[in-house]
Amino acid sequence: MQLLGLTLQSPFVAAPMAGVSGPAFRLMARRAGAAMVYSEMVSAAGLLRHQPQTLRLTRSLPGERPLVLQLFGASPRQMGEAAAIACTLGVDALDVNMGCPAKKVRRPGAGSALLEDPILAAEIMAAVAEASSLPVSAKIRLGPKSDITEELVPRLVKAGAQVITLHARTTRQGFGGRADWEAIKRLASWCPVPVIGNGDVTSGRAAVRMLEETGCAAVMIGRGAMGDPWIFSRAVARLAGQEPQPVTPAMKRRALAEHLELAKNLGGEGHAIHFIRQFMMWYSRGLPGASLFRRQAGACHELAPLWELCDQFFLEPEQMEPEQPEQAA
Ligand SMILES: Cc1cc2nc3c(=O)[nH]c(=O)nc-3n(C[C@H](O)[C@H](O)[C@H](O)COP(=O)(O)O)c2cc1C
């Protein structure tokens, strides 16, 4: 399928997630079948000031692409200038964050605060589109308190957004309640550009169901892929009418070994311990003995014993994991 001028292998993409969707997460998602991945949100102001912690978020690894870099900011000028820089960073498209409910993002007027000012949102979109040599998109929520997509989306499309991703919750909802898939269906029925549906896809089956029930062009998966990149391969298999392969502890161990190498290369051993522990916690979720394993792993401050624990834990053959139970929409 075609999206943002790119040929994608499947309609399943990995969500931008601050603190999560770094290079290792994205690479794993891509290998497991995500057709496209997104960076964590990157501050336009930070990029313009060359802040080291912002620049770190723009690093990527071979094998990740297609990669979309997501920017956030509240000033059309800054967002335009940041977009021009972002286009030089080896990515394939730019996305504008119009959905983040975090206070520190909203306070200066960025993220979901833009839903309260559709005119400014469109000005930002236009500035990014004008400055960018790459395709551009917007990731939105339904609105501050109710569905305002009919007012907002035409403005964004007119300003140059070539794809709209809808996390089908209001700002007020945060991450609570249920994502409103009916709203994705409504938007997809009239939106002149492709809509990526997002919210509460926690299984391969649910990913296919969102495609079928809403008519969206693609499905974005966030929390369901944290610690479970294989959700993408299950979605791809389900879409092809095939039974997905079970995820084995050995597969998780192999993924952890890869994460470890990547983490060491990206940030040295100290960084690797912190980093690999996070993935170990995720990958152990739902497996027998996980809470003891987590306690032991939490108390390990050196890489060698941590890895030994991992070896022992992830090689138990009886720890076969079935697909997560389907969530009713
Ligand atoms: C830890 C975390 C960090 C997130 N960071 C971002 C972000 O940087 N940019 C963004 O647009 N959305 C961000 N989101 C929202 C997700 O991209 C997604 O819209 C949301 O989690 C709903 O999808 P899901 O139900 O598949 O998780 C974040 C969500 C989580 C849980």
Separation of CA 35 and ligand 1 centre (Å): 17
**pLDDT above 90 (res 235):** yes
Does residue 256 share a domain with residue 152?
no
* 235 and 253 together in one domain: no
Domains in the chain: how many in total? 2
204 and 302 both lie in a single domain: no
Residue 325 lies in a domain: no
What pLDDT does residue 288 have? 86
Atom of ligand 1 at shortest range from CA of 201 = 26
Please identify, by atom number, the ligand 1 atom nearest to the C-alpha of residue 15.
17
Is residue 323 pLDDT above 90, yes or no?
no
**Same domain (yes/no): 295, 159:** no
Structure confidence by residue, pLDDT tens digits, 219-228: 999 999 998 9
The band of 324, judged by pLDDT with boundaries at 50, 70 and 90, is low
pTM of the model: 0.93
Mutation pick for ligand 1 pocket among 96, 167, 324 (CB with most ligand atoms within 8 Å): 167
Residues 94 and 164 in one domain: yes
Is residue 324 a part of any domain in this protein? no
Domain range enclosing 147: 2-239
| Residue owning the nearest CA to atom 19 of ligand 1 | 167
pLDDT one-digit tens code per residue, 111-168: 999 999 999 999 999 999 999 999 999 999 999 999 999 999 999 999 999 999 999 9
Q: Mark whether 33 and 76 lie in a shared domain.
A: yes
Pocket of ligand 1 (CB under 6 A): 15-20, 40-41, 70, 97, 99-100, 139, 167, 198-201, 221-224
Which pLDDT score, from 0 to 100, does residue 325 have?
55
Q: Which residues contact 30 (CB under 8 A, 6 or more apart)?
A: 14, 37, 63, 64
139 and 67, same structural domain? yes
Does residue 326 sit within a domain? no
Q: Do 264 and 299 share a domain, yes or no? A: yes
Q: Compute CA distances 219 → 123, 197, 222, 264, whole Å.
A: 27, 5, 10, 32
Mutation probe of ligand 1 site: the residue of 68, 165, 223, 232 with most atoms within 8 A of C-beta: 223
**Any domain includes 260:** yes
Residue 4 zone, left/alpha/beta (φ > 0; ψ -120 to 50; rest): left
Q: What is the pLDDT of residue 321?
A: 52
Considering the domain boundaries, does residue 323 fall inside one?
Answer: no
Kindly provide the residue ranges of all beta strands, DSSP E only, lying in the chain, ordered along the sequence. 2-3, 6-7, 12-14, 36-38, 42-43, 67-72, 93-98, 136-141, 164-167, 195-198, 218-221
* Residue 272 pLDDT greater than 90, yes or no: no
Residues 163 and 222 placed together within one structural domain of the fold? yes
Structure-token match 């990206």, residue found: 266
CATH code for position 191 = 3.20.20.70
User: Are both 177 and 309 inside the same structural domain?
Assistant: no
What is residue 327's predicted lDDT score, i.e. its pLDDT? 47
Is 318 inside any structural domain?
Answer: no
Residues 10 and 77 in one domain: yes
Strands 2-3 and 6-7: antiparallel
Instruction: For ligand 1, atom 31, name the residue with the nearest CA.
Output: 223
Tell which of 181, 211, 239 closes a domain.
Answer: 239
Indicate which residues carry an active-site annotation. 100
pLDDT of residue 246 exceeding 70, the answer is yes
What is the C-alpha radius of gyration for the chain, rounded to an integer number of angstroms? 20
The CATH number linked to 308 is: 1.10.1200.80
Residue 27 in any domain: the answer is yes
Mean pLDDT across the chain, nearest whole number?
93
Contacts of 165 (CB under 8 A, 6+ apart): 95, 137, 138, 139, 140, 195, 196, 198, 220
What is the distance in A from the centroid of ligand 1 to the CA of 202? 13
Atom of ligand 1 nearest to the CA of 41: 8
- Residue 45 CA to residue 215 CA, distance in Å, equals 36
195-198 vs 164-167, strand pairing mode:
parallel
Distance, CA of 75 to chain centre? 24
Q: How confident is the model at residue 248 (pLDDT cuts 50, 70, 90)?
A: confident
* 308 in the same domain as 174: no
